[in-house]
Structure 1
């Protein structure tokens, strides 16, 4: 197995351990620290994997092969993390999605409860002109549930991780080629 793939898997395992320790310690209330650590570990896996790959190779490489090496660290990381999040929110922390759904519905209901807001909303959105508040809330609930289920989290995590991994690979390659490996 290539050193870049091993690095991606190692950082993915480290993030899973951090996420589970946050869950077991009760620090999981806010999603922000886990997400920021996830993004940082993705950057670290690409940086460390590319550095180890460059120091291991004796011959000169071009920029595209360096970007490919960075992506070969970021892709396994993203796949493992996305699959873990799917199982985590589907089997381990089911209350998280229920909490997010009820939180967003409460925000929508609070907004519509203010005098004149429902009429202003219907004026701004002609598609909902014939809807009652109850019909609108029922449709919103369906949309919110579709956006906050484990499958949607898997897809968003894969898309975001692949986009960030590509961007990080390009940036880290550019920085390494300009500053470290001249």
Structure 2
């Protein structure tokens, strides 16, 4: 197994274990923001350590930029895929309290922005697409959209796209730093 792929696996497993420990201790909802930041740090670590140790295995030969970038991306994409699949399974089967909380917050925001039929009539004047709709129908459609937009599947796609884009940026940065700073005196 390639070194960069191996470290993508290792760092993904470390984040998954930390996330499960937080769930088992009951602090997963409170530690949500910290876990997101830790996720980004683990992604950067998997890319950087994988690239660094791959270059070390190759006796620090300089090579070409696309090869180093590809090596960095391998660890990043393995990490992104594993974490995305885990997050989907986590929110679908293990703990859906975070998704339920997000949905409740959005529904509350809908009810706060248009609390009654008088406010809905004012809204209809601003947005003609709701002219033929009544207040209850509007609220029902908005709540259906919330439940469709915040689901384990949508969280999976957001993680996959977000982590892949961030892996691309991190891989580019790690490769530039590796070539410009670490390998500046290489053969």
| TM-score category, normalised to shorter length | over 0.9
Q: Please state whether the residue corresponding to 1:27 is helix, strand or coil.
A: coil
Comparing 120-129 and 133-142, the one that deviates more: 120-129
Using the size of structure 1 for normalisation, the TM-score is 0.93
Asked if 1:143 is matched to 2:138, the reply is no
Q: Which runs of 5+ in 1 are unaligned?
A: none
Could you tell me which residue of structure 1 aligns to residue 112 of structure 2? 110
TM-score, length-scaled by structure 2? 0.90
Structure 1 residue 116 displacement after superposition: 6.1
Residues 138 and 114 of structure 1, relative CA distance in 2, 3 Å threshold: closer
C-alpha distance in 2 between matches for 1:114 and 1:178? 61
Give distance in 1, aligned partners of 2:179 and 2:79.
Answer: 23
| In 2: Cα distance, 1:121 partner to 1:47 partner | 51
Q: What is the CA distance between 1:120 and its match in structure 2?
A: 4.2
Q: Secondary structure at 1:113's aligned position in 2?
A: coil
Could you tell me which runs of 5 or more consecutive residues in structure 2 were left unpaired when the two chains were aligned: none
Q: Which SS does the other structure have where 1:48 is aligned?
A: helix
Cα deviation digits, residues 69-98 of structure 1 (max 9, x gap): 110100110111011011100000023322
Aligned-residue RMSD, C-alpha: 1.7
